[in-house]
Amino acid sequence: MSGNELIYINDAFESNWIAPLGPNVDAFEREIANYVGVSEAVAVSSGTAAIHLALSLLEVKKGDKVFCSTLTFVASANPILYQGAEPVFIDSEPDTWNMSPQALKRALQESFNEGIIPKAVIVVNLYGQSAKMDEIVSICNQYDVPIIEDAAESLGSTYKDKASGTFGKFGVFSFNGNKIITTSSGGMLVSDEKELLNKARFLATQAKDPAPHYQHSTVGFNYRMSNILAGIGRAQLEVLEERVLARRLIFERYKHELGSIPGIKFMPELSNTNSNRWLTALTIDEKIAGISKDYVLNSLADENIEARPVWKPLHMQPLFEGARFYLHSENINISEHLFTTGMCLPSGSNITDGDQMRIINCIKDCLKISV
């Protein structure tokens, strides 16, 4: 916590705005919209809810196809199933670890040839790093396919001086407890499409018709953020730039200490982008380093240090068995390679220098490097 959260929480209590909606929600929406540079924002209960609303606004339904990054958390694709649609997964590329433009182009061309155009493309900005949005936007525009930019992990990141989450028809942020700023649980849907976001508010509030009694003509959702949690978010947003700086410094220390070790490569940062470095991620080439990623993870766990593998690609998940998947290029599967070799290191904004050096020294010890 930043320290100012209680000010906004007490305001909510003193004004008796405890239930969902209220002044903090309205203000948090304005402040996020202003920060990223869009017209409107809608505060909701989770990033997943925001993706679901975006798909609902695009009228995705049973039998439709939605393309999605494969190297991501399941929350990016679960809403596709909520709508009864079919996910098609797109491989990563090596420069950003995000959606491969060449795989996306091939997938869209094949779909066009089959007479089926996807209703949306969900592009994920992994671990804070923006995807190659110029290329992806250009390809999607050729086929008039709207983009939902899943920026759940990349609030505070930029691509060519433009805020992450603002390149698609809709952008999505998450304020889950593990994100760079948090409302405990929560998310935000952003867009320049004011009319559509007004509809999102309607759908997210159980789709209540304007009537003196409770009347409903369409399916709605209980997705709005509470006034208390929005107050937490307002205080967190005040320190977002400090958090980004802290995470980037954490990444730089890891890279400085470990980056020259043979077999270790850190997640790259694309030219003209600025990643919030939500998580520091790297790969370990067992043939060069002499040890595997799993060996390092287990060694860290033995020292009570929690590290994680990178996301398991969604096309490999039992939930999506049989789903169509497009490789980065023939016989080159980037996402599976990253899953096999990649790991995320402890990256909390409040990690101490001493704790970080303990992690670094543990990794060096695994590699038999003197510390």
CB 176 within 8 A of CB 233: no
What pLDDT is stored for residue 370 in this prediction?
Answer: 55
233, 244: one domain: no
Query: For residue 371, what pLDDT is reported?
Result: 52
- Helix (H/G/I), strand (E/B), else coil: 132: coil
Give the separation between CA 339 and CA 326, rounded to whole angstroms: 16
Residues 213 and 347 in one domain: no
Number of domains making up the chain: 2
Sign, CA dihedral 51-55-57-62, equals negative
Is residue 192 situated within a structural domain?
yes
192-247: pLDDT as tens digits: 999 999 999 999 999 998 888 899 999 999 999 999 999 999 999 999 999 999 99
pLDDT at 368 (0 to 100):
81
Burial class for 236, CB neighbours closer than 10 Å (0-12, 13-18, 19+) = buried
Contact 231, 59 (CB under 8 A): no
- Shared-domain flag, residues 180 and 262: no
Active site residue 179: yes
| Cβ count within 10 A of residue 123 | 28
- Same structural domain for residues 59 and 82? yes
Residues 115 and 252 in one domain: no
The gap from C-alpha 252 to its chain's centroid, in whole angstroms, comes to: 21
Among 208, 237, 266, the domain-final residue is 237
CATH number, domain with residue 331:
3.90.1150.10
Domain that holds residue 305: 240-366
C-alpha pair distances (Å), 288 with each of 15, 94, 146, 296: 62, 19, 42, 14
Catalytic residue among 119, 169, 179, 265: 179
Tell me whether residue 299 is in a domain: yes
Is there a domain that residue 371 lies in?
no
Asked if the structure places residue 72 within a domain, the reply is yes
Same domain, 227 and 247: no
Res 2: pLDDT: 80
Predicted local confidence at residue 252, as pLDDT = 98
User: What CATH number corresponds to the domain at position 192?
Assistant: 3.40.640.10
- For 70-87, how does the pLDDT look when each residue is reduced to its tens digit (9 = 90+)? 999 999 999 999 999 999
> Which residue, of 237, 256, 287, is where some domain finishes?
237
- Same domain (yes/no): 169, 314: no
What residue spans of the chain are helical by DSSP H? 5-15, 23-36, 47-57, 78-82, 101-113, 133-142, 194-204, 227-237, 240-258, 286-289, 293-302, 334-341, 353-366
Same domain flag for 264 and 179: no
Residues 6+ apart with CB under 8 A from 336: 313, 316
Residues of the chain scoring pLDDT < 50: none
The reply to whether 209 and 269 lie within a common domain is no
